[in-house]
Amino acid sequence: MHTKYSYHETDEGEKVFNCPECNKVIKNHVARHLKTHTGEKKYQCHLCPYSTARKDNLQQHMATRYHQGGLPVFRCTLCNKSFPRKQSWNRHMKLHVGNRKYKCELCSYSAKAKRTLEQHMAQHRYGNLYRCNTCGYLGKTANKLIDHIRTHTKEKPFSCKLCKYACSRQDNLAIHMRVH
């Protein structure tokens, strides 16, 4: 399938693409970005249920989770959590230190804004949140939890009537149908 992408120039003369799905401005790797909306994940980990649309993400997963592939792993010296990319590690380290003056009294989380801390505190309450028994994920609605649980079960109840494509979420099927 060949798709023509419509680019436009910025004020600086740079060619960019506006994603019609999420309105994100893409400078390069347009086709790769668009795959994030289809749910297509052709790279599967042979050791766990993890799958991804990008080969480099699978390589990072193998390096971080199983220490395979020779890729660098960035590890937090404060909590021992590991990250596949330095950018993710830097963002995580800012949770431990920096200008985050709002501190959670129940865990080590801290936030820059009071509202962000309040949203975090809601996760401790469980009151109106839906909890995944497998990993502890908290969803705001029952449907969000059901969508999440399918990441564990690999259930794909939504299928294309025109081809063999199947996915776990109805919105991904709707996006896929646009290719037909």
- Cα 47 from chain centre: 20
The model's pLDDT over 44-59, given as tens digits with 9 standing for 90+, comes to 888 788 888 888 888 8
Report the b/e string of 90-115 with b at 16+ CB within 10 A.
eebbebeeeebebeeeeeebbbeeee
Share the mean pLDDT of the chain: 78
Instruction: Give the residue ranges of DSSP H helices in 3-153.
Output: 30-38, 55-66, 86-96, 114-125, 142-153
Give the C-alpha distances (Å, rounded to integers) separating 93 from 77, 78, 87.
9, 9, 10
The model's pLDDT over 71-108, given as tens digits with 9 standing for 90+, comes to 666 777 666 677 777 888 888 877 776 677 888 777 76
First-to-last alpha carbon distance for the chain, in angstroms, is: 10
Domain residue ranges of the chain, discontinuous segments joined by +: 1-38, 127-180
Whether the CB-CB separation of 25 and 17 falls below 8 Å is answered with: yes
Whether the CB-CB separation of 132 and 148 falls below 8 Å is answered with: yes
Sequential pLDDT tens for the chain (180 residues): 445 566 677 777 778 888 877 778 888 888 878 877 887 888 888 878 888 888 888 887 877 777 666 666 677 766 667 777 788 888 887 777 667 788 877 776 777 788 888 877 776 765 566 777 777 777 777 788 888 888 888 999 999 999 999 999 888 999 999 888
- Residues 173 and 176: their CA atoms lie apart, in Å, by 5
- Residues 40 and 153: their CA atoms lie apart, in Å, by 16
Comparing CA positions, the residue from 57, 37, 39, 35 lying closest to residue 156 is 39
CATH for 127-180, options being 3.40.50.2300, 3.30.160.60, 3.40.50.300, 1.10.10.10: 3.30.160.60
